[in-house]
Structure 1
Amino acid sequence: MKTIFVDGYNVVNSWPNLKQDKGVSFEGSRQLLIDILHNYGVFKECKIVLVFDAHKVAGSIEKEEQINKNISVVFTKSGETADSYIEKKVNELGRKHEIVVVTSDNLEQQTIFQRGATRMASIEFYNEILKVEKSIKSRAEKNENKQRNSISDNIDDNTARLLEEIRRSK
């Protein structure tokens, strides 16, 4: 299964829909990103690790919350950046797994290449997300149309004929 590491604040600061939301509430932007990534992870059948910096928060300890089987959210410990956390995890997983790192940090991108992972710029991932959301919406509309049942789908031909005769006789 492919694992995608996402530098949370890097994405929040580069995606247009999240950038404007963060002016109102960082928590709202984080939650919206989690929701978007959850849908993506389920649709693409991949694991997503969303990493937020807490390196400037004095006394912060590393926290990881498993949202579901597809996504976990990590807040780094005090003094640790999202970049260093991602580098450490990518180094642990090495070339054994398919790993993608979403960040627009150039130095991070070079380090990731050296460790066997591929990188995707935040805005490139945003465009990928838009395509997936469009696919999800299209698939949902197809399913909705399929699920519209008429009475004739649930009764035999003889009963349908009798009902039609009753309808016409009035």
Structure 2
Amino acid sequence: MRTLFVDGYNVINSWPSLKKVKEYSYESSRVQLIGILQNYVAFKGYKMVIVFDAQLVKGSIQKKERQGNLVVVFTKEGETADNYIEKMVNDIGRNTEVCVITSDSLEQQITFQRGATRMSSIEFYHEVVSTQKKIEIEIERKYLEKRNWLEERIDEKTLEKLEKMRRSR
């Protein structure tokens, strides 16, 4: 199973829709990003770790929250998202398929050297938007399969009579 590591604030600062939300509240942009990515990993069947810096938060301890195949991590005081991702990729990068999502070129180089592939935040944005469209199509297709139209259940003569009644109004 593919594992994705996402530099959360890097993505928020790169995606047009999340940049606007961030102007009002980082919390709102985090919640929105997490919601979008929950749908993405559920559809794709990937594991994902979204990492948010808490390096400048005095007394901060590392926090992890699991939501299905999605893990949200807030780093501890003094630890950047980059440091956390590098450490994790170093541990698993050559044993499993890992992709790091960040537009930080130095971070991309380091994680690539440790066995991960990389994708910029903007490339990932386009990938997620494309996947959202596929999800919508799949939902519509399933809805259409389950519809139960009256005209599909009655005989042709009755259907003609009903149509005449409808037109005579």
Could you tell me the TM-score, scaled by structure 1's length? 0.89
CA pair 55-164 structure 1, distance change in 2 beyond 3 A: closer
1:76 maps to 2:75: yes
- State the match for 2:137 in structure 1: 138
- State the match for 2:23 in structure 1: 23
- State the match for 2:119 in structure 1: 120
- State the match for 1:106 in structure 2: 105
Decide which moves more: 72-81 or 145-154: 145-154
Q: What is the correspondence of 1:1-170 to structure 2 with a 5 Å cutoff? A: 1-68=1-68, 70-151=69-150, 160=155
3-state SS of paired residue (2:141):
helix
Corresponding residue pairs, total: 165
Could you tell me the TM-score, scaled by structure 2's length? 0.90
- How far off its partner does 1:26 sit? 0.8
- How far off its partner does 1:150 sit? 2.2
Tell me, in whole angstroms, the C-alpha distance in 2 between the residues paired with 1:165 and 1:82.
Answer: 66
Tell me, in whole angstroms, the C-alpha distance in 2 between the residues paired with 1:61 and 1:87.
Answer: 18
Structure 1 gap segments, 5+ residues each: none
- How far off its partner does 1:11 sit? 0.3
Could you list the per-position Cα deviations for residues 119-169 of structure 1 after superposition, in whole angstroms to 9, with x for gaps in the alignment? 0000000000010011111111112222210246568xxxx579669969x
Tell me, in whole angstroms, the C-alpha distance in 2 between the residues paired with 1:20 and 1:125.
Answer: 18
Could you list the per-position Cα deviations for residues 83-142 of structure 1 after superposition, in whole angstroms to 9, with x for gaps in the alignment? 000000001113110000000111101101110000000000000001001111111111
Aligned-pair RMSD on alpha carbons? 2.0
3-state SS of paired residue (2:6):
strand
Structure 2 gap segments, 5+ residues each: none
Contact residue 55 and residue 78 of structure 2 kept, 8 A: yes
CA pair 136-165 structure 1, distance change in 2 beyond 3 A: closer
Amino acid at match of 1:35: G
- Percent sequence identity is 54
Tell me, in whole angstroms, the C-alpha distance in 2 between the residues paired with 1:132 and 1:145.
Answer: 20
Contact residue 151 and residue 159 of structure 2 kept, 8 A: no
CA pair 137-165 structure 1, distance change in 2 beyond 3 A: closer
3-state SS of paired residue (2:4):
strand
